[in-house]
Amino acid sequence: MIIILAGENSYEVAQALRQIEVQFTGEAERLDGQDIEPRQLPDILMGGTLFSDKRLVIIKGLSDNKTSWSDLERWVDKVSDDVDVVFIEPKLDKRTKTYKALKKIATIRDFPAWTERDDGKAMQWLEQEAAKRAVAIDRKSVQQVVSRVGVDQWRLLDALEKLSVLDNIDEGSIKEHIATSPAENVFNLFESALRGQSETVHRMIQTLEQTDDPYMVFGLLSGQVFQLAALSVSDQPSAVVAKDIGAHPFALGKLSSHASRLSRKDIRVILDAFAEADIAMKTTAGDSWLLIERALLKTAAINS
């Protein structure tokens, strides 16, 4: 039997793999796909063992090993009945001949990473996990946790573990014990610029500089700028715009008040500021954080 656990939702992949291992009575063999050579594939997929009737072989990231992944095509229909093979593939290229061969005989389970549009799903999941652990947390607090942490299940579970030891879970305790996600921090940074709060922008940049990657921060900021521009040129409600551009309605809702009061000229200044920063970050050796702050301060100057 061949099973493929595909997708970048590492939490759900881990849970699915755990279920497979629980059902297996022996000791699973774990292999790194990067280390597997083509000549080893026959033994891995068909070789028996003296110590048990069945084998469970777990191979992670074989598709990143182009040579062995390509060679796998000629072995997929020769896997022994005594061998269960689980391929863990976060980024599976479905255009390859090997994938097409596997698709005919393998059980393929997809676990895509959750996005900001899945916050409702994340809230429901967190409520279920809290109930399993007998953690008393109301709907409003669940929403606040997801807003601060994001939709990554590992981080949500970590937040729940921290809150589980508290006598009372409310807005104050969540702010005290649960750190905000990079996306939330970046939104707060951009909103501070839109409010003309230059000093706040400077302090937040200094804080982010200690822990975050400037290119990641700039990418998130650029997404916010694009959403703001989309809102400013549309006469549709933010929920409709969100659907049109594939953004989350809640995120656009928070930007809509800024978009409605800014002129087209103001939006152009913001777009130009970030376009200049983008070019400079790609073509010069300048300080990336300084370039980001400069773009934000130009934004803040419009609103000061």
Q: Does one domain contain both 166 and 236?
A: no
Average pLDDT over residues 17-34: 91
pLDDT at 78 over 90: no
Q: pLDDT, tens digit, for every residue of 171-221?
A: 899 988 887 777 778 888 999 999 999 999 999 898 888 888 899 899 989
Q: Does one domain contain both 197 and 272?
A: yes
Q: pLDDT, tens digit, for every residue of 93-126?
A: 989 999 999 999 999 999 999 887 788 899 999 9
Q: Does one domain contain both 47 and 69?
A: yes
What DSSP assignment string belongs to the chain?
-EEEEESS-HHHHHHHHHHHHHH--SPPEEEEGGG--GGGHHHHHH---SS-S-EEEEEESGGGSHHHHHHHTTTGGG--TTEEEEEEESS--TTSHHHHHHHHHSEEEE-PPP-GGGHHHHHHHHHHHHHHTT----HHHHHHHHHHH-S-HHHHHHHHHHHHTSS--SHHHHHHH-PPPHHHHHHHHHHHHHTT-HHHHHHHHHHHHHHS-HHHHHHHHHHHHHHHHHHHT--S-HHHHHHHHT--HHHHHHHHHHHHHS-HHHHHHHHHHHHHHHHHHHH--S-HHHHHHHHHHHHHHHH-
Q: Does one domain contain both 280 and 187?
A: yes
Average pLDDT over residues 71-100: 90
Q: Does one domain contain both 256 and 211?
A: yes
Q: Does one domain contain both 194 and 217?
A: yes
Provide the number of structural domains found in the chain. 3
Q: pLDDT, tens digit, for every residue of 117-138?
A: 788 899 999 999 999 999 999 9
pLDDT at 51 over 60: no
Q: Does one domain contain both 48 and 84?
A: yes
Average pLDDT over residues 15-20: 94
pLDDT-derived band at 49 (thresholds 50, 70, 90) equals low
Q: Does one domain contain both 159 and 248?
A: no
Q: Does one domain contain both 258 and 171?
A: no
% of the chain surpassing 70 pLDDT: 96
Kindly report the backbone phi and psi dihedral angles of residue 177, in degrees, each rounded to the nearest multiple of 5, phi listed first.
Answer: -105, -15
Q: Does one domain contain both 87 and 153?
A: no
User: Which pLDDT value is given to residue 184?
Assistant: 74
CATH number, position 276: 1.20.272.10
Boundary (domain end) residue, out of 52, 76, 110:
110
Q: Does one domain contain both 76 and 59?
A: yes
User: Which pLDDT value is given to residue 250?
Assistant: 67
Q: Which domain holds residue 138?
A: 116-177
% of the chain surpassing 90 pLDDT: 53
Q: Whole-model pTM?
A: 0.68
Q: Does one domain contain both 126 and 47?
A: no
